[in-house]
Structure 1
Amino acid sequence: MTSAPDPDLSFMSAFPAPTQEAWRAAVDKVLKGGDFEKRLVAKTADGIRVEPLYLAASPPARPLRAQAGRWQVTARLDHPEPAEAQKLALADLEGGANALTIAFAGAHAARGYGLVAKDVAALDAALDGAMLDLIQLRLDPAPEGRINALLLAALVEMRGLSPEALSLDFGMDPIGVFAGTGGLAASWAEVGRRLAATIRALKARGFNGPFVTVDTRPWHEAGASEAQELGYGVASAIAYLRALEAAGFSLEEARDAISFTLVADTDEFLTIAKLRAARLIWARIQRACGLTPAPMVLHAETAWRSLTRRDPWVNLLRGTIATFSAGIGGADSITVQPFTAALGLSDAFARRIARNTQLVLLEEANLWRVADPAAGSGSFETLTQALCEQGWAQMQAVERQAKDGLPGILAALTAGTAQTALEHQRDAHARAIATRREPITGTSEFPNLREAAVAVLDVAPVTIGTPTGRTGTAPDPDALIARLAAGAERQEGLIAPQDGLRAKALPSQRLAEPFETLRDRADAAAVKPVVFLATLGPVADFTARAGFARNLFEAGGLAAPVGDGFAQDGGTDLAALTAAFTASGARLACLCGADAAYAAEGVPAAQALTAAGATVWLAGRPGELEEALNNAGVRSFIYAGCDVLDALRRAHDAT
């Protein structure tokens, strides 16, 4: 808006230069006295203002990816059976993926599935045909992450590969696992010692890392806002820096051992700004440590909490938006959740669509050709800076809770302050979902009661028993790698739990779950629940409210068919309406019409339906008619902004 005109657009000088003041004057004219703040200014979960218009910004120098170009297209290897996992993984690699994430059984991201590998032979079978020197390989954080890392190192040794030539992220994240499970098998000092010993053994064999992953998915799935996700993630990274430094690593070595996994959600602007802010905050942390900042190793995964089980095809759109945002935001690698992931273990078709989402954005949209497409945009620069400030403040608040030798992030978990903060955020989000201020397409809005089932693999979830192991100190990691490569089982590396930390585990919740529960209730009913829409007046008058009511009721699995109405002489044939209700077999009737129809016929219509045995509701706000309508038998009102979940629960009870 303030930049110099392009010479090729010299004709633009014939027009007056636009100003923000002129734009605001035009907006105020359209608003006709409406509140600008309420109508056009939004706020994020962290209270950050989102303006309708921003001035162009001068892009500051900012940390970018270590290597410009394409991001890594990542697929997850998570089938419990090695042979089946291998088939799916090879299909992904042959179909365009160039990175794999191994989710072992027990990993949070495996969602109850995950590769079962008791020894290196099982892992070798799952990766048979995968040329590890040509792809990137990542491990998802899991409770036995140290053993998983050593098992992977043993596979490399068994295959005779050169560790220096491989791109491996060993994915150890004891803090993230503790947050998700509520248990740490030993004291933090002992966990830090084991972590350092494992990294030292891997580095001695030539592995470059990263070795530790700061995984923010548990925080995000527990309801974290963007700033909370950044703050808790950076606080975890600081804890790892300190633990490794205490074990004898230089700060530079500790820094280089750490990678990050962040969530790409369906809010395009905030996801892009969050990933950009993460790089800025990490660079500031490094400078505070006296280091010359190195690029953050950043993996992004599309949001689990945004997935739906109902109308899962809409997940394709959610995944596309999130992938686009992660690519624009500067992720080094991306995993796209298959659109059927919330229903079970995804089949080859859903996995193909997931990777093709990335390939289309890379090959056809060419998103990778610009290093930082958001640079200079007033909106993105403003949101990025705001998230930097908010995320930094969250990190400082966590760090201040350090106590009794525990870093701030662990102290916040054991004391429950982190859980409380996330609970408040979840409650706020739940209210927005319940009132449909944050609609979920295909679930809370525009549900499809006749959706066709989608296919998932017929695989039973993996049962993970309580891990047992030998007592005493942890076995030497270097010797354990050699034993695993020679055929020893992973059980040899397990250690009996000691006096560790305990905390309330963070919940993992999808936003659509409350509505899905109601849909499940409707499907389980012996007779399909139906709501009779008692339309008043001609079609043109009742269509808007009848459509609103149908949309609302069907979000809970309650069929609400709309007919041609019962218009008669400009009004309503109440006898025909009552007869239709009786014939429908419904118990709940909802009046739908224009305000004028409610004033003229609302009371007699409610009385007639009540006399016919109906529980009567009304679509719309009653205004001055509320008392009269209540006296006539209207028991509830549904309207834009009402608590839809509460209304649907009561509707189920009434039907």
Structure 2
Amino acid sequence: MCKGAQTVTPDDLPLAADFPKAQLEDWRKLVDGVLKGAPFEKLVGKSYDGLKIEPLYQRAKDKAPVMGRPPAAPWQIMQRIDHPDAGVANAQALTDLENGATGLALVFAGGNGSHGFGLEPTAEAVAKVLKDVHPDAGIAIELQVGPQSRMAAIQVAEYVKTKGIDPAACNIRFGLDPLAACAVWGHSPYTWDEIKPAVASGIKGLAGLGFKGPFASTDGRVVHDAGGSEVQELAFVLACGVAYLRAIEDAGVSLEQAQGMVYARFSADADQFLTMAKFRALRLLWARIEQACGLTPKPLFIAADTAWRMLTQRDPYVNMLRATMATFAAGLAGANAITVLPHTLALGLPDAFARRVARNTQLLLLEESNLAKVSDPAAGAGGIEGLTSELCDAAWALFQEIEKAGGAFAALQQGLFQSKVAATRKAREANIAKRRDVLTGASEFPNLHESKTVVLSARPVALSPDGGGKHKFEALAPIRLAAPFEALRDKSDAILEARGARPKVFLANLGSPADFTARVTFAKSFFEAGGILAVDSDGFTDPAKLAAAFKASGAAIACLCSSDNVYGDQAEAAAKALQAAGGRHTYLAGRPAEAETALRAAGVAGFIFAGADALATLQDVYQRTEQV
């Protein structure tokens, strides 16, 4: 600084004073000008719970942070251990811990999140998997078990005891969760009154050995995996959590002690704002339950998994982006532990590369982006605060409805809860079919020439039959949203292998590239999402040349692509020429409502456009071309 220079403060440069303060009303006037008479509600989105998502929010004032993890504390980087061969699983676990993971999620066969694989639930397998792993060295361990692997908790506890390790020095979440298992399996051999004492006895036994827990898991993933909404996932977690608190208290444990014996599992997906709001809402709702119990609220431990239902088998590398966004949202919202599902999990057991990417997704966000350095950065953000509040209100109302029905188990027996999840899943599947909810690489922007993805070869553990149960109800079966489109891609692959060529659609482009390029791009993505290879062409003005090019393409169907103006001049003649050339079915990219009757009379049998049921159209293509 030069001699005699003075310090300049913001007050000395009142640049902002030259501009008027921004007002919401001023913004609305500008928006109305762009909408040109269209209703403002066109810009208002809705969640699957019917919650409004406004295009703009004002700052939420006087909002305190929703505290989860201690300030500046990183979340636990959990790595999924699910290889059926215990020796291989052990090698994977040691590699993960040596390369940045701070915890292991031991997924046992038959568990809610096993997805076809998982560890063998035997004492010998547990000992092999944990060989050279030191549970008392600050490593977090989480158990994910099911009805056929429920003894894994005891087996892990006995392993710790035989190794002479102090249970109090271990950080083990035992994952006892019979309610979630009942929901997934759709039956139970026992009533809840019969289950409660067994759960409480198991928890008291583990606590008596000196383990600090938590012991019981309330797992919202089962709702998310089944296609449920944020409100439904929240309400299920609350209902199951309260049921476990009551069971523990009935066994003679004080609520103050029981408070730390229950934790939550949540799914995090690629919807950043709803995911953040959902995690924040859970903390607020659980604190409300603690207060109702006469307890001083303590932060609930929340373990997050990136969502199963958002994984795709096709173009699986996009799953890396989805997982990154989900991890970002869960981390910022205060998750205590996060498990990233490897990007190839929907195809089989992930190899070393996929596992490394899953680890590094978290390491980059923690070590390079420093996401954990700020506690609840969403505090005061109008949009997320608004969504958090709305989720709290709606989830609390559904939780009360479940309680009035007799609790979580009774609500499952009555089908009350499953009917709500089924309705949401149906709406979600309809939007996937119409491509309103986009799945990049599956329903949009497919790659028919992608290389085969490498996964490990392993034989799943053979479990003894579950045995069913006398108490049966509708199951919350897990789904993947991309599966219907992937089924069509599988058909295409089978045809390619059997006949040497995929089903084809000829893109009958009319006019110049300026006329047809936009709709060609749309049509190519539309058809190839179902495995129908789009054969491109130059623009045509002569119907005879168009017909000749169609014949030469070897395609059985065609799709006219151009602008509405060109359609008015050429579409009818082009459709007739294609039909005369042997086209079994002609589509038109667009929706010229006034000309539809004339176009259909000329041979156009279907229209493809944004918002159309793409899945039904693609299924119809296979039926019409008799390629299946």
TM range (shorter): over 0.9
Equivalent residue, structure 2, for 1:439: 438
1:51: which partner in 2? 54
Match of 2:579 in 1: 610
| AA aligned opposite 1:573 | D
CA distance in 1, matches of 2:15, 2:562: 53
Q: Which 5+ residue runs of structure 2 have no aligned equivalent?
A: 1-8
User: How far apart, CA to CA, are the structure 1 residues paired with 2:383 and 2:256?
Assistant: 34
Counterpart of 1:544? Answer: 518
> 2:463 — aligned with what?
464
Q: Which amino acid aligns with 1:214?
A: T
Q: Which of 594, 601, 606 is matched with 1:636 structurally?
A: 606
**1:586-626 alpha-carbon deviations (Å, 9 max, x no partner):** 11111111112211111111111111111211111132111
Contact 2:145 2:152 in 1 (8 A): no
| Cα 1:9/1:193, change in 2 over 3 Å | farther
Question: What is the distance in 1 between the residues matched to 2:577 and 2:466?
Answer: 66
Query: Which of these residues, 313, 321, 325, is aligned with residue 329 of structure 2?
Result: 325
- TM-score scaled by length of structure 1: 0.91
Contact 1:531 1:560 in 2 (8 A): yes
TM-score scaled by length of structure 2: 0.95
The residue identity in structure 1 corresponding to 2:622 is H
**2: CA distance, partners of 1:555 / 1:196:** 50
Which runs of 5 or more residues in structure 1 are unaligned? 403-407, 469-496, 567-571
Structure 1 residues 622 and 528: CA distance shift in structure 2, 3 A? same
1:559 aligns with 2:558: no
Choose from 112, 119, 140 the match for 1:115: 119
How far, CA to CA, are the matches of 1:16 and 1:640 in structure 2? 41
2:569 to 600, 605, 618: 600
User: What SS class does the counterpart of residue 209 from structure 1 fall into?
Assistant: coil
Q: 1:60 aligns with which of 56, 59, 63?
A: 63
In 2, are the aligned partners of 1:62 and 1:280 still within 8 Å (CA)? Answer: no
Q: Which residue number in structure 2 is paired with residue 481 of structure 1?
A: none
Query: Relative to structure 2, which stretch is displaced further, 641-650 or 193-202?
Result: 193-202
SS in 1 for 2:212: coil
Name the SS for the 2:426 alignment partner.
helix
Match of 1:84? Answer: 88
Residue 403 of structure 2 is matched in structure 1 by 399
2:202 counterpart residue number: 198
| Residue pair 1:589, 1:616 contacting (<8 A) in 2 also | yes
Determine the C-alpha separation between the residues in 2 that align with 1:126 and 1:209: 20
Residue 583 (structure 2) pairs with residue 583 (structure 1): no
Moved more, 430-439 or 10-19: 10-19
CA distance change for structure 1 residues 548 and 374 in 2, over 3 Å: closer, same or farther?
A: same
SS in 2 for 1:438: coil
Alpha-carbon distance between aligned partners in 2 of 1:423 and 1:383, rounded to the nearest angstrom:
23
Q: Per the alignment, in what secondary structure is the counterpart of residue 589 of structure 1?
A: strand
Letter in 1 for 2:60: A
Q: Distance in 1 between matches of 2:466 and 2:616?
A: 42
Indicate how the Cα distance of structure 1 residues 392 and 7 shifts in structure 2: closer, same or farther if over 3 A, else same: farther
Pick aligned residue for 1:42 from 42, 45, 51: 45
- Show the counterpart of 1:249: 253
Describe the SS at the equivalent of 1:263: strand
The answer to whether the aligner puts 1:515 opposite 2:485 as a matched pair is: yes
- Partner amino acid for 1:585? G
Taking only the aligned residue pairs, the percentage that are identical comes to: 48
Q: Which one-letter code corresponds to 1:551 in the other structure? A: S
How many angstroms apart in 1 are the aligned matches of 2:453 and 2:554? 31
Give 1:145 shift.
5.3
1:232-287 CA-partner distances (Å, limit 9, x unpaired): 11011111111222222212222221000001011000000000000000000000
Residue 111 (structure 2) pairs with residue 104 (structure 1)? no
CA distance in 1, matches of 2:105, 2:530: 36
Deviates more, 1:153-162 or 1:14-23: 14-23
Provide the C-alpha distance between the structure 2 equivalents of 1:633 and 1:22, rounded to a whole number of angstroms.
Answer: 51
| In structure 2, distance between residues paired with 1:292 and 1:242 | 17
Instruction: Please give the root-mean-square deviation of Cα atoms over the aligned residues, in Å.
Output: 1.6
Q: 2:420 aligned with 1:421, yes or no?
A: yes
SS in 2 for 1:386: helix
Cα contact 1:63–1:295 (8 A) shared by 2: no
Worse-superposed segment, 78-87 or 127-136: 127-136
2: CA distance between counterparts of 1:50 and 1:6? Answer: 36
Q: Distance in 2 between matches of 1:104 and 1:126?
A: 11
Report if the CA contact (8 A) 2:546-2:577 is conserved: no
Which SS does the other structure have where 1:560 is aligned? strand
Which residue matches 1:477?
none
How has the CA–CA distance of structure 1 residues 267 and 22 changed in structure 2, closer, same or farther, with 3 Å as cutoff? same
- State the Cα distance separating 1:460 from its structure 2 match: 2.2
Q: How far apart, CA to CA, are the structure 1 residues paired with 2:529 and 2:470? A: 45
Q: Which residue of 2 aligns with 1:489?
A: none
1:539 Cα deviation after fit: 1.6
Whole-angstrom distance in 2 between the partners of 1:146 and 1:532: 56
Q: How many residues align?
A: 610
Q: Which moved more, 1:514-523 or 1:615-624?
A: 615-624
Aligned match for 2:393, one of 389, 392, 395: 389
- Where do residues 255-270 of structure 1 align in structure 2 (5 Å cutoff)? 255-270=259-274
